Amino acid sequence: MKRIAITVVALFVVFCVNAQNIQLHYDFGHCIYDELDGSRAPLTSTVEFFKPDKVGSTFFFVDMDYDDGVQSAYWEIARELCFWHESPLGWLSAHAEYNGGLSSGVGAFNDAWLFGLTYSGHNADFSATWSLSAMYKHISHTVDLDGKKQCSNYQFTGVWNVDFAGKWLTFSGFADFWRECRPWQNTTHIFMTEPQLWLNLNRIEILQNVNLSLGSEVELSNNFVDKGFYAIPTVALKFTL
């Protein structure tokens, strides 16, 4: 347990140094669903980073759940590569990604490695951006529902960010659909999306130098939290660096 806590703190410090925004969410899952009371942490912090460069872009985020201390941490690191910007396929990039995490209850999560292609786009002033990825997904230590070892999975991911109403509001989020055999749920496919809506307080004149946003996220999932569909809202603060 001590080793997990030290690793989590170290990762949090490293990622925060390079963060673009930091979010704090109060999660209502433990209030809405009786079966999640005691297992769903009420507070989650999110650190996000995105940086484009001449040959692609780098993205990562770290989620940490808190309930009488750090309960778990989860992170994703993704790299897009595109050396052909000036070609007709300039909107297409190669995608590589790692997903993993730690939990005080179950220890390390299964590592996941993803490889595929991403189609990205934006409008003229970049107030709207989007991407769609199709990937092969290798999840370590997974077995088929019949107990045989299997590692061949796939995932489709969509990501969007839209500023509107004079940049007073931002609508952002992602949607994932992937194959993962979960014998304990008798399920093989999972869907999750987390749309977010933010009110950007820096549009107020006296707060223009304070990049703070108020908002909400709704986690909509099927076979992710548990077998079946869940809708879990949050109230949140976001500070953009």
| Domain boundaries of the chain, sorted by first residue | 2-240
CA distances from 124 to 53, 93, 121, 128, 129 (A): 19, 20, 10, 9, 10
Q: What angle do CA 142, 146, 147 make, to 5 degrees?
A: 45
Segment 130-163, tens digit of pLDDT:
999 999 999 988 888 887 777 689 999 999 999 9
pLDDT score at 39: 82
Q: Round the average pLDDT of the chain to a whole number and report it.
A: 90
- For residue 68, pLDDT over 50 is answered with yes
Residue 146: CB atoms within 10 A of its CB come to 8
More confident residue, 30 or 7: 30
Tokens of 212: 């703070």
pLDDT level of residue 18 (50, 70, 90 thresholds): low
Q: What angle do CA 79, 133, 125 make, to 5 degrees?
A: 80
CB 44 within 8 A of CB 61: no
Q: Could you identify the residue written with the tokens 């993704």? A: 78
Average pLDDT over residues 32-47: 92
- For residue 14, pLDDT over 70 is answered with no
Segment 195-205, tens digit of pLDDT:
999 999 999 99
CA distances from 220 to 136, 150, 191, 224, 230 (A): 23, 27, 8, 9, 6
Q: Is the CATH code 3.30.300.30 the one for domain 2-240?
A: no
The verdict on pTM exceeding 0.85 is yes
